[in-house]
Structure 1
């Protein structure tokens, strides 16, 4: 009997211990699950509720990249959605309903999956991610997508660079969240630097030979990093760019049908855009091998550290955000490098509806950055960019000194902008429209000592005594067919129901098709005709500028200008 009682006691104790172990495991998993799905309260104290439908019965919101379908008839949901769009440029409400470790499909092409994906010979990389007041769930999901879908031995560190965020949840709470992740390091800027300078801060603080930049609103998919590292390891002057899929800013749906068919490019305002690969001259029999791109979107790429340093990192004279991607594109090709998009690397990126990074910024940062880039890297073609902004030349007092940037170019022994176009971007369109001109504008009916003048006080135009130093008398007829003076453009203002107009100036809006600010200089008659009004620029007896029905016999419609002289033989025509 004692032996039986002892056996029963031992068995009971073993069962108790087993149940205790199971309970501990369940409890730990519950805590982990709470952590991985947790979000901080909104500023107004309202947490998202499950007012959504899903694409499949029982499916979690956003699982496998599916959209979150919300009840937008609910007023409280509408308010939360609009608050997120205004604050972040995307729907924070929908994002907060999605797991920060949501599953995504493997979107690689079968050819990519079949390739040799051995990792033993690949180098390590530091991943740099700059954030500024990013939504909690989006930032955390970005980091988890890296940790969950990247071989750990390829990551030296994930460096989160806080560009002086003001959101309280991105301070101590963020530090505590990533305490359990030794490869995640948070670097906090001592003041607001702007995206460009914050990236440089992160790059200089990183420790790996290769640096991978990612935006703070991405989700990496399976096998995303290995193809990038393979490219840069094979050629250390290559910049490798993933195929950038889209995450819908409203529904957070993963959208993958667009990205594989495009290449990065830009126009003469230096505004980046995606062009169809079919429009490019260089052909690739296999659409899945890495292919050359003239330009990059800028947020996502891998680069060798010393090559980046030799290129001068980014221009830290740039303000906040914008044009740094075009600068890096030009100088990589001009300074002995290469830039490729890697189809087998797929990273999804939230397509923001607006850029909160530029909120409360009172200066035209894109204009300033464009001027600096043009002056340093575009040689004689820099004047095309000046003309786009209606600026006669580079003003150091407005845009800052670029002496050190020019010295970096000399030390790197970079080639010419002309060669960049001929060899890397032969598809670039001709910047010279018929009758492109710059400088002072005179009228054939009046004294040559009178010039077209803009008056700041009332946005009017008239002929006034010429003074070569006056900003108000410097005009460009540029790539966008504008009559542009320091980013203000001439346009017609209808005065009566009949087609009677006056000329005035307004901020350039660059609405190209049938836009009110599009003008044609008629070489055969020296007239300047507005495309929307169909009438011509003229001067009346009081020297005020008017817009009248075109009349070949009217000398007050004939304008004397200095045409642009530029070798445009390297550019394609429409």
Structure 2
């Protein structure tokens, strides 16, 4: 990838909240040490109302050694989105580069980002995100042949680069067009950032901002890319060092996602979101007048255009089902099948409305949850891709057995542990009888 001699300068915006001292310093030093001085206009550090003493005056004193570093201490908690907006409003450079506060920039990380923004001001450039171990800080280069995608609950996820993108790229250094971005590390023209609505000020604390911005970039005339020549390491932490409103990360994330869906996603795909996240039905997302005006005033493309032109390889959602909702044991009617993440499924107490207890029995006779399919792994239930490998298919009649077609085994329950497994079918076994919350006829009409 060739780099010009007259690249635009950038303001690096880095927000932090309860960050570890050494991690914060590592992040800032890597930006200073590995960015050409003539390209780095300033680093704006936004302290999002941290409570730890070392993140206040000690940070000010330490960073005073670096003329290009400005530290802002917010007087109340803003959350990632609004804290970044404070930094963006202060920025003076042509390009805004947003970074998390637990990263390490590598040599040559900045120039490719600025080059792509210089090439076309509507390009939004992302670094390939390498992994830094949260325990020993070991740095691992990741496969650059990935793109950002999303599940039908509209959560970010990685996906393998599709064949059409592989064919378009003529060299390993070529940018990778991506439908979505991870959100923590990217560069964007400052004017273009504000033209497409910056960040949604109605978002709370953290979550879904990357999906919201990704949709707007593509639908409103921009292009989103990962650059293999730019690499930044990122510490993927277990949990968050900061708190969420009412200590509810899930509710906060869903609130933000709901705002995105209500503005940027059209029917019938909007209903797909509510099928996957039923607890958000009837929830007030707040005032969306200004956000909807952005889409209308910029004459942005619709969501079907986005799927057809930007993400044609995305799995097509089902709009009709044989059954959907919670999947309850008839032997233990207080227990429901539950997606425990990381490929695990268990029986837990049924909740009134809970996303990880929503399962779909599709017209293809697969059983899916949050974009994954139930498979048989040596008679253990597992979740796997519905597309890279042939998914298990099942036969089920309302209130009766769920029989895997390929093995001939039925979904059952171990009495002593209530573990769920595949076992030999027994017609008189109450442990093998299941009831979905909702059943539908062949026309997709709900059965009474």
TM-score over 0.5 for the alignment? yes
Per-residue CA deviations over 1:388-409 (Å, capped at 9, x if unaligned) read 012484532xx32322211121
Aligned equivalent of 1:135: 20
The answer to whether structure 1 residue 168 and structure 2 residue 35 are counterparts is: no
Is 1:213–1:299's contact at 8 Å kept on the other side of the alignment?
yes
Q: Kindly tell me: are residues 286 and 491 of structure 1, through their superposed partners in 2, closer, same or farther at Cα, counting changes over 3 Å?
A: closer
For 1:345 and 1:272, how far apart are their aligned partners in 2? Answer: 21
The answer to whether structure 1 residue 534 and structure 2 residue 377 are counterparts is: no
For 1:217 and 1:535, how far apart are their aligned partners in 2? Answer: 44
The answer to whether structure 1 residue 425 and structure 2 residue 301 are counterparts is: no
Match of 2:68 among 183, 194, 197: 183
- Give the C-alpha shift of residue 151 in structure 1: 1.1
Aligned equivalent of 2:266: 379
Aligned equivalent of 1:404: 290
Unaligned regions of 5+ residues in structure 1, if any?
1-111, 442-451, 462-479, 493-507, 537-547, 566-574
Which structure features the higher share of helix residues? 1
For 1:198 and 1:387, how far apart are their aligned partners in 2? Answer: 32
Is 2:80–2:205's contact at 8 Å kept on the other side of the alignment?
yes
TM-score (norm. length: structure 2): 0.75
Match of 1:415 among 301, 304, 308: 301
Is 2:322–2:442's contact at 8 Å kept on the other side of the alignment?
yes
- Give the C-alpha shift of residue 322 in structure 1: 1.1
The answer to whether structure 1 residue 366 and structure 2 residue 253 are counterparts is: yes
Is 1:522–1:528's contact at 8 Å kept on the other side of the alignment?
no
Aligned equivalent of 2:217: 332
For 1:564 and 1:317, how far apart are their aligned partners in 2? Answer: 39
For 1:557 and 1:286, how far apart are their aligned partners in 2? Answer: 53
Aligned equivalent of 1:106: none
Q: State the SS of the aligned residue for 2:137.
A: coil
Aligned equivalent of 1:216: 101
Q: Kindly tell me: are residues 491 and 252 of structure 1, through their superposed partners in 2, closer, same or farther at Cα, counting changes over 3 Å?
A: closer
Per-residue CA deviations over 1:63-92 (Å, capped at 9, x if unaligned) read xxxxxxxxxxxxxxxxxxxxxxxxxxxxxx
Tell which has more relative contact order, 1 or 2 (C-alpha 8 A, sep 6+). 2
* Rg larger for: 1
Match of 1:264 among 148, 154, 160: 148
Is 1:335–1:414's contact at 8 Å kept on the other side of the alignment?
yes
Q: State the SS of the aligned residue for 1:128.
A: strand
How many residues are aligned here? 385
The answer to whether structure 1 residue 150 and structure 2 residue 26 are counterparts is: no
Q: Kindly tell me: are residues 509 and 365 of structure 1, through their superposed partners in 2, closer, same or farther at Cα, counting changes over 3 Å?
A: farther
| Superposed CA RMSD | 3.9
| 1:69-84 pair list within 5 angstroms | none
Per-residue CA deviations over 1:265-319 (Å, capped at 9, x if unaligned) read 1221222222222556552121211120111010000001121112211222222
Which structure features the higher share of strand residues? 2
Is 1:265–1:294's contact at 8 Å kept on the other side of the alignment?
yes
For 1:327 and 1:491, how far apart are their aligned partners in 2? Answer: 24
Q: State the SS of the aligned residue for 1:143.
A: helix
- Give the C-alpha shift of residue 509 in structure 1: 13
Is 2:81–2:206's contact at 8 Å kept on the other side of the alignment?
yes
Q: State the SS of the aligned residue for 1:160.
A: strand
Q: State the SS of the aligned residue for 1:314.
A: coil
Per-residue CA deviations over 1:357-415 (Å, capped at 9, x if unaligned) read 3567225212222222111111101111111012484532xx32322211121122111
Q: State the SS of the aligned residue for 1:298.
A: coil
For 2:443 and 2:290, how far apart are their aligned partners in 1? Answer: 29
Q: Kindly tell me: are residues 394 and 411 of structure 1, through their superposed partners in 2, closer, same or farther at Cα, counting changes over 3 Å?
A: farther
Q: State the SS of the aligned residue for 1:161.
A: strand
For 1:388 and 1:131, how far apart are their aligned partners in 2? Answer: 32
Is 2:276–2:355's contact at 8 Å kept on the other side of the alignment?
no
The answer to whether structure 1 residue 487 and structure 2 residue 363 are counterparts is: no
For 2:103 and 2:181, how far apart are their aligned partners in 1? Answer: 16
Aligned equivalent of 2:184: 299
The answer to whether structure 1 residue 388 and structure 2 residue 388 are counterparts is: no
Aligned equivalent of 2:367: none
- Give the C-alpha shift of residue 214 in structure 1: 0.7
Unaligned regions of 5+ residues in structure 2, if any?
336-344, 360-369, 385-391, 413-424, 429-433
Is 1:281–1:427's contact at 8 Å kept on the other side of the alignment?
no
- Give the C-alpha shift of residue 146 in structure 1: 1.0
Is 1:126–1:156's contact at 8 Å kept on the other side of the alignment?
yes
